[in-house]
Structure 1
Amino acid sequence: MREFWLHWRSVLAKFGARTPTGRDTAVALALAVLLLLAHISVTLAVHDGQLPVSLPVFVWLNLVVTADLGTIALRRKAPRLALAAAVGMLLVATTLPHSYAGAGIGVLVCGYTVAVLLPARSAMPAIGASALVTIGGGVLAVALGGSVAGLPVFWGNDGSSTWNLVLAGLASHALAGLLGGYIRTRRAYLAELTARIALLHADRAERAAAAVRAERGRIARELHDVAAHDLSAIVVQAGAAERQLDGDPEGTRNTLREIRAQGRRTLGALRELVGIMRAGDTEDAARAPTPGLGELDGLVRGARESGMIVRLVIGEQVAAAQPAASVELAVYRLVQEALTNARRHAPEAEVDIRLDYAEGELDVAVRNGPGAVPAQEPTDAAGYGLVGMRERVQHAGGNLTVGPTRDGGWSVHARFGRDS
């Protein structure tokens, strides 16, 4: 049904009916043309090619029907006025000498529109007044010898039973009002639901951005410590090289090699530091030591003391690779966060930590099996752990992959390249 309506909306748009009022006008005009053709063909077929009334009366009948349908074009701009005009056209139709199908469609459509666009306290009196006037006019027309059999608002009743005529009129208005009220309530519900979803998305995005900003602040502090330590070491080594320059050329060369290696690591750390603003530093935070690969044993030991089953395997080539201090820090924080997530989301699960170095790339993998509850990605309410983890790994020049494992556990895998 939705596809059908969208199709006809596109068809109407091609003919200039791009606004709701324009589409209503096009629909009203199409209905008027169709009813006119139906009236002509049916009337001529039933009466052996002759009109049952004179041509002026026939034209007047079709004008009344067209005017009734014309109220549909005004239903969105002035719903109560359109309903009143439709009721007026219906009363005119009851006075005509020939019962004519079609008059009264505007009453049903405009009654529905009033229920959709207006609040219930305004729509109910308008629809009730329309029902009273319509039913009263129909009963009076039948009493004066008229016919209402062709009016859809009376469901084909000829007026022989006043009670049936009243019930038909009430049922028509009640159905239009109930349907319109349902559509109005549903639209309001969907609008409120959409607003809530948009608000939740905005709140979630803001909280995620705040978490990223906080994590960047922590990264800035730690990288600042790394850069300050390395630069201090370079300054000391350069002074030693200056003193050895004349008396110990070989020692000077060794010192210069150390300065070069230290400088390369420091450049990597400074590259991470550029563009990151420090905020909210305290004296204790600024002086805190920067953890690295050497502190992983203590981290694992603390996890084991808390009751976790943790296995740590570090490849022989990792220590010899001498990764940058920023990479060591990222690895430490990644393992720390992975252990925290495993403890929280998979209690009593076994955790395997493995570090390997091959072909200039450092691989860090942390996997845990299923715990007391099924493994799942930590939610925002749990603390943005993955957001900070991904941010830290990316700033260290690595790539992070997280996801569930086949056995119902969880896997965290980071890879740092040669230039990290």
Structure 2
Amino acid sequence: MENDKYLSVTALTKYIKYKFDNDTHLRSVFLKAEVSNFKHHSRGHFYFTLKDNAAQISAIMFNNQSKKVPFKVEDGMTVLVEGYIGVYEASGGYQIYVNEMTQDGIGNLYLAYEQLKKKLASEGLFDQSHKQKLPAFPKTIGVLTSPTGAAVRDIINIVNRRYPLSKIIIYPTLVQGEYAKDSIVEQISKANKDNLVDVIILGRGGGSIEDLWPFNEEIVAYSIFKSKIPIISSVGHETDFTIADFVADLRAPTPSGGAELAVPNQQDLFISINNLKSQLTKNINNQIDSLRQKVSRVEQSYIFRDPLVLLEKPSRKLDFLEEKLLLLSPNNLLKQNKDKVNNLVNKLETITLKNITTKSNEFNILINKLELLNPLSIMKKGYSVTKLNNKFITSINQVKKDEIIDIYVTDGSIKALIKETRKDDL
């Protein structure tokens, strides 16, 4: 009967869980804490720890809640969470099951973002029917961004690499801070008034929601919508979405991506030109063959069999047409390209042979070095290797009198009995 007062671990844990589950103060808990040990499970669940300077608690956020988190959760981030406290019976520990999560200090910004997004969508600012088509070959590109940031350098480099025929006009624009929204609106208006560019890239690099907030302002959205020049919004990183992205004629994940969408790739154009050239050459050759067949039929007609004088004028005309068509022949150009290819092949062969010779010399040097380090090479000079119980002997202190040792030479081994040891100075 004495044992009746003892509980099992399971019973105690179930009782504690019952107390947790029925405590109204633990059914909805609001915490402000730092995230650590964050793990994003393949099924979408979040596993992490919430901590402050004095304590910590394990946390889990299941997939149906975690997919609603509008930002990337990272270690060290301060967050605001709402959830309930529960006991995990298998480990006997308690943890918070998170229902909602926002970044500290920006909950109101997200609310304002969603409200404005809903309002503008209802007004039709996001409709595809209002999107302007980008020019295929823009002569001039307007870039609205900070003139000193990394974004403008990336845009310039990519445009110059992909399509150097395009000219770039920089409209210096504030992209962060209190006055950024007015600067963006002013520069969009100026670009439209100047009417010097075919497309506008509006962009900046990544940052926090506060940093990107000017691109979520209502006046910026209306300014983009009213622009007569197509606008590419390329704000932040790939995971960042701003109101400007939804209103713009095209959204790019980054400033670099905006530059790639604004201009064609000259390499692709070269391929298209070569394809057109081949087709043109084929068409010209077909026309030449067709004309030659017509000439052949005319020459076989009865009118040229007897009155040779009638042949003179058409013949001259035929020769003229044939010479004119031959001028259009791509043979000369093909010959030039063939010579260039041959020169490149010769250069490639020379470089390849030189590299093979260099690597061969390096290989021989390494072989010689390895040969010098080969123990067999050393043993051929009269040295041997001594072992006792399959262990190398390097000192007389490792052996005793009457022990049997193995002496290895290049062509075999010798068993020897130790008579005495002497400590000699070499």
TM-score, normalised to structure 1's length?
Answer: 0.25
Q: Which of the two has greater helix per residue?
A: 1
**Higher fraction of strand:** 2
TM (norm. structure 2) is 0.25
